Amino acid sequence: MSTLLKVEGLHLSFQGREVVHGVSFQMQAGEKLALVGESGSGKTVTALSLLGLARGAWVRGKALFNDADLLHMNEAQLRELRGGDIAMIFQEPMTALNPLFTIGDQIAEVLQLKRGMSLKEAWQQSIELLSDTGIPEPERRINSYPHQLSGGQRQRAMIAMALAGQPKLLLADEPTTALDVSLRQQILDLLDSLQQKHGMAILLITHDLNMVRRFADKVVVLENGYVVEQGDVSQVLAKPVHPYTMKLVNSQPERHVLPAQASSPVVIQAQGLRVTYPVPRSGWRGWLGSGEFVAVQGVDFDLKAGQTLGVIGESGSGKSSLALAVLNLIAFQGHLTIDGKSWSSQAASDLPLRQAVQVVFQDPFSSLSPRLTVEAVVGEGLQLHQPDINPLDLQKQVLSALADVGLDETQFPGLLARYPHEFSGGQRQRIAIARALIVKPRVLVLDEPTSALDVTIQKQVLDLLQRLQRERGLSYLLITHDMEVVQAMSHQVLTLKDGQVVQTQQLE
C-alpha cells in the first residue's frame, strides 16, 4: 500500500506555549490508525492542525498528504480539501450540526459544493447516503432537524455528511463517546464496513482502548503532547512498554462495594411507574388533540440504603425519563416514594425530598454555571436548604465538601474563587459531586457520570463514588451504558427496552 499521510516533527504552540512536541506518524491508504491519550495529550489538536482548524496555533513540521504538505497550504487550498479528500466527524453531533437546517439540506450542500451535483441529484444521493449509514426511513428522516433525531441517528447523519465528498482520509474525533454500548458497536461496525467499501483511511481520536482493540490496525499513544509509544494494536496494547501506556491499559473500573444487605431499609420504591410525552398527530387527527408516546411503562424497583441500582439500555429505552421521574422533574404516573414520602405539587413541601435526592449529570462542563465561582456553585444548594446559615459556616462546609472529593486549597490555591472552566473534566465532575453531597442527601442519581471522562479519570471518579458510598451509606441510581461501570458499581441491574424492564439481575 502507498503512504497516504506522513506527519513529521509536528509542533503546535498556543501563545508561546508548546502543547505538541515533534509528533511523527504515517498512515497507508485504507489503514485505520488510532491516536490515543487522555484529555490534554494533544490528540485532537494534532488532528485539527492537519486541516488548519487549530485556530490560534503556531504550527511547524510537515504533514504530507499525497506528497502535498498540508501545513503549508493556504486557506483556499485547505478549503478545497475539507469535506472532500479529507473529512471529519466531530465528537458531539448536536453541536456540530446546524440546528437551523434539515439533515438533508446539510448533506446536499456538501454534494453540491464538492461534487457539483444539482439540487435534485444531491437530494437523491443524500437519501442513499442516509440509507448506507443505516438510518431507518431515510426518505422521511432527510427532512428532520438535528434535534428530532436520537444521538445515534445524529452521529450517522454526520457520518453520511462526511462521506458525501468521497474522502480518502476520515478524521473521527471520539465518534462514539456519547452513545450507549450497542450504538457504539453499531457505529464502529458501520465505519468498518464503509471504510472497506470506499477504501478510505481512518484516523481515530479516542481515549477508549476497547474501541481501539476492536477497530484500529495501528495505535499512536500521546502523553502531554509527546509520542510515547506506537505500533500495531495487538503488540502495543498486549505488551505495552511505556509506563503511561501501561497506566491506560490498566485503568479499568474495579469493584470495591460493600455486599448488599437484605435487612437494609428501602429508600426509593417505585411501582407501576409510567412516563408519557405528548406527540402531534398527522392529518385531521391533529385537530382532535395530540397523541401519546410512552417512554416508561410499568417499571417496578426498590433501591435500598447503601446500595446501587444500575439502569441500562439503548438510547430511547427510557433510562433518562426514569431518572427524571425519580427526581420529579417530569410528570409521571404510578407509585413512587422516597423514605416513605411521595412527591407533591407544592415546592415548599417537596423541599425535604429535594434535599434527600440529588443528581450528578453526564457533562460537568454544561451542568456547572460558568458565571459562578466554585464557592457559589457548591454552596448554592446549602443556602437554599439552610437560608439562615452564616457566611463563615457556609464557606467551612463548602471547603469540607470539596475536601471530601479530593479538592483542597493546598492543591489549588484560591480554590473557592476559581471558575469551572479553570479545571479539568475530572475535577469539574468532582465539583459537581461536592455540590450534590453538601446537602447530605440519601440518594444520588448518577446520569452517565463518567462517560465524558478519560479512562484514568473515570476510574478515579468511580473509586471516589464507591468510597463515599461505603463511608456514608449513600444509595445510587446509576444510569449508564457502560457495562464495565455497571459491573463495578451495581448491586442490582435493571435492563430497559422500549420503556419496559426486560431483565432484573442481582450482582454479588
Rounded-to-integer distance, Cα 290 and Cα 287, Å = 8
pLDDT of the residue at 149:
82
* Distant-in-sequence, close-in-space partners of 431: CB < 8 Å, separation ≥ 6: 364, 368, 374, 377, 378, 402, 405, 407, 420, 423
Q: Starting from the edge strand earliest in sequence, which strands make up the sheet with 357-360, in order?
A: 357-360, 443-447, 475-479, 308-312, 492-497, 500-506
Q: Using alpha carbons only, how large is the chain's radius of gyration in Å? A: 25
Domains and CATH numbers, the chain: 1-85+167-250 (3.40.50.300), 97-166 (no CATH), 266-506 (3.40.50.300)
Between the two ends of the chain, the Cα-to-Cα distance in Å is 51
pLDDT of the residue at 346:
84
* Distant-in-sequence, close-in-space partners of 204: CB < 8 Å, separation ≥ 6: 32, 33, 34, 35, 172, 175, 211, 212, 215, 216
pTM of structure: 0.73
Beta-carbon neighbour count of residue 385 at 10 Å? 14
Q: Which strand (E) or helix (H) includes residue 502? A: strand 500-506
pLDDT of the residue at 177:
66
Q: Which strand (E) or helix (H) includes residue 498? A: none
Residue 128 has φ and ψ, to the nearest 5°, of: -65, -40
Could you say which DSSP state residue 120 is in? H
**Matching residue, cell 464538492:** 114
**Strand-strand pairing, 291-304 and 266-279:** antiparallel
pLDDT in tens for each of the 508 residues of the chain?
A: 688 999 999 999 988 889 899 999 999 999 999 999 887 788 888 999 999 988 888 999 999 998 899 999 999 999 888 888 999 988 777 778 899 999 999 999 999 998 999 999 999 999 999 888 888 888 888 999 988 887 778 888 888 898 888 899 999 888 876 566 666 777 788 888 888 888 889 999 988 788 898 889 999 999 989 999 999 999 999 999 999 999 888 888 889 999 988 899 999 999 999 999 887 776 666 676 677 888 899 999 999 999 999 999 877 788 889 999 999 999 999 999 999 999 987 888 899 999 999 999 877 777 889 999 999 999 999 999 999 999 999 999 999 999 999 888 888 889 999 998 888 777 888 999 999 999 999 999 998 888 767 777 888 889 999 999 999 999 999 998 788 889 999 999 999 988 999 999 998 7
pLDDT of the residue at 289:
67
Q: Are 50 and 27 in contact (CB under 8 A)?
A: no
